[in-house]
């Protein structure tokens, strides 16, 4: 009788019910169910199905771990500037003028004596090996195949000598200031000895904190370590000095004088990247630098600075044609390029877009993405009634910035 009570008692039944409940809610059981009943019909689109630069992004995303994707995609803090870079294109309308055929359009231009079939360059960006095993070399091959010059990041994920050996297209190098002048000279001379035809000095004072990455910590990613001094190893996770104020100490020390000091080391053109005010643009002209890149680092530096497209016209006016004004941050479409050139830019640099191409399909993806943007650009120029870049002026756009 005791045994019978034990087998049929309420307590046992309750225990079994609880166990069943646990099993039903368990991810183990969930894993047995197919969450995608139409999986036989799912497939990744191929390279020849890519229609716009945007099409490459989800494939790139699917090809890489979240932490690496987020390193590329994130902006700083609330990502206001990241969003605004794209939103700004909605505030510039194109003026359509019928009567021009796309094949009558010539998109060629010249920059510091370098001939470009289209006013596009690859912006410098680090960690390209996250995207594809060929990394920066793959980017360089794809860019060269599309006739696009590449600005190789000073912190490229493949040594510059190796990148240089993989293609023969025009190439510049980007340089992050180094406090020691001798080390600065060595690095700049190394870039030039390896074929850099111009040096881009990144001057935007990055004060970034990437909250996306910090959240990723919970998903297996590594939050970016910020350390106090390049020469002293700091235990993982530790911060000191200016890092406590969320300021990257490698980026907040330099002055205009430093740029003057390194100028003699640079044999060809020196461009300053990260200019977003007319006053700073004028300083660059007055100090004799050869060009500027209007950039907010793709929303990766100080959050809440305006979109580069918004500040471009006033910077172009301040420079008054004395040096070329390049621009980047948020460019994804041929019509985006039309807007920037109409507002006075000499050329546009692309950061994330060709990275999506590399991450999705390797060098062929970079080439295809660039060709799509070139074709879009030509088509949009034709619709704006412009057959040359010179003809593409402010009459081609109507700006309605808030």
Interaction site with ligand FMN (CB under 6 A): 71-72, 85, 123-127, 153, 155, 174, 202, 273, 295, 297-298, 300, 328-331, 350-352
Q: Which is nearer to ligand FMN, 148 or 174 (CB)?
A: 174
Nearest residue to ligand FMN on Cβ basis: 351
Q: Closest CB to ligand FMN among 50 and 123? A: 123
Tell me if 111 sits within 8 A of 346, measured CB to CB: yes
DSSP string, 229-262: -TTS---TT---GGGGGT--TTTSS--HHHHHHH
> Given the complex with ligand FMN, which of 153 and 389 has the nearer CB atom?
153
Structure tokens at 251: 């980026």
Q: How far is CA 401 from the centre of its chain?
A: 23
Question: Residue 283 CB: number of other CB atoms within 10 A?
Answer: 17
Task: Pick the catalytic residue from 132, 215, 218, 297.
Answer: 297
Q: How far is the CB of 30 from ligand FMN (least distance, A)?
A: 35
Minimum Å gap between C-beta 22 and ligand FMN is 43
Q: Is there a catalytic annotation at residue 297?
A: yes
Q: What are phi and psi of 342, to 5 degrees?
A: -65, -35
Considering the complex, state which of residue 141 and residue 295 has its C-beta at the smaller distance from ligand FMN. 295
Two tokens at 162?
């190796």
Shortest distance in whole angstroms from residue 305 CB to ligand FMN: 13
Query: Euclidean distance between the first and final Cα of the chain, in Å?
Result: 84
DSSP assignments along 340-354, one per residue: HHHTT-SEEEESHHH
Strands (E), 48-128: 92-94, 109-111, 114-116, 120-122
Angle at 190 between CA 185 and CA 193, to 5 degrees: 125
132 near 215, Cβ under 8 Å? no
Measured distance CA(297)–CA(153) in Å, rounded: 13
Q: How many CA atoms lie within 13 A of 144 on its CB side?
A: 17
Least distance CB 299 / ligand FMN (angstroms): 7
CB of 355 to ligand FMN, least distance (A): 6
Closest by CA to 314, choosing from 344, 357, 349, is: 344
Angstrom distance (rounded) from CA 319 to CA 274: 15
- Least Å distance between CB 174 and ligand FMN? 5
**Angular region, 116: left φ>0, alpha ψ -120 to 50, beta rest:** beta
Q: Which residues contact 264 (CB under 8 A, 6 or more apart)?
A: none
Count Cβ atoms below 10 Å from residue 192 Cβ, excluding itself.
17
The size of the chain, in residues, is 402
In this complex, which beta carbon is closest to ligand FMN, that of residue 272 or of residue 397?
272
| Least Cβ distance, residue 275 to ligand FMN (angstroms) | 12
Least separation in angstroms between residue 288's CB and ligand FMN is 21
Considering beta carbons, is residue 367 or 386 the nearer one to ligand FMN? 367
Rounded to an integer, what distance in angstroms lies between the CA atom of residue 386 and that of residue 238?
A: 56
Closer by beta carbon to ligand FMN, 105 or else 295: 295
Is the separation of the CB atoms in 277 and 294 below 8 Å? no
Q: Which is nearer to ligand FMN, 298 or 334 (CB)?
A: 298
- Indicate which residues carry an active-site annotation: 297
């Amino acid at each position: 009788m005791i045994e019978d009570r034990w087998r049929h008692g309420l307590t046992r039944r309750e225990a079994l019910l609880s166990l069943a409940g646990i099993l039903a809610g368990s991810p183990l059981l969930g894993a047995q169910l197919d969450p995608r009943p139409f999986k036989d019909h799912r497939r990744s689109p191929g390279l020849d199905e890519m229609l716009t630069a945007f099409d490459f992004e989800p494939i790139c995303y699917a090809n890489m771990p979240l932490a690496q994707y987020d390193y590329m995609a994130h902006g700083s803090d609330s990502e206001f500037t990241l969003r605004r870079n794209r939103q700004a294109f909605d505030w510039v309308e194109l003026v359509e003028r019928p009567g021009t055929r796309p094949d009558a359009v010539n998109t060629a231009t010249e920059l510091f004596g370098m001939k470009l079939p289209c006013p596009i360059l690859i912006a410098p960006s680090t960690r390209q090996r996250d995207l594809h095993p060929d990394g920066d070399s793959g980017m360089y091959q794809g860019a060269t195949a599309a006739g696009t010059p590449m600005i190789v990041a000073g912190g490229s994920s493949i040594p510059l000598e190796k990148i240089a050996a993989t293609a023969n297209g025009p190439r510049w190098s980007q340089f992050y200031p180094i406090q020691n002048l001798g080390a600065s000279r060595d690095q700049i001379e190394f870039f030039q000895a390896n074929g850099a035809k111009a040096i881009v000095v990144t001057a935007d004072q990055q004060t970034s904190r990437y909250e996306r990455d910090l959240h990723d910590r919970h998903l297996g990613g590594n939050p970016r370590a910020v350390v106090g001094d390049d020469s002293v190893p700091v235990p993982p996770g530790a911060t000191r000095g200016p890092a406590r104020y969320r300021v990257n100490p490698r980026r907040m020390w330099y002055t205009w004088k430093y740029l003057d000091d390194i100028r003699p080391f640079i044999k060809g053109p020196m461009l300053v990247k990260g200019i977003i005010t007319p006053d700073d643009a004028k300083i660059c002209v007055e100090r004799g630098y050869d060009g500027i890149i209007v950039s907010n680092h793709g929303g990766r530096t100080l959050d809440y600075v305006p979109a580069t497209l918004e500040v471009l016209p006033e910077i172009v006016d301040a420079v008054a044609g004395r040096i070329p004004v390049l621009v980047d941050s948020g460019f994804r479409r041929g019509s985006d390029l039309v807007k920037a050139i109409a507002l006075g830019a000499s050329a546009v640099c692309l950061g994330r877009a060709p990275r999506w191409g590399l991450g999705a399909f390797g060098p062929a993806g970079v080439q295809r993405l660039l060709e799509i943007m070139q074709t879009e650009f030509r088509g949009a120029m034709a619709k704006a009634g412009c057959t040359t870049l010179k003809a593409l002026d402010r009459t081609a756009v109507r700006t309605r910035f808030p």
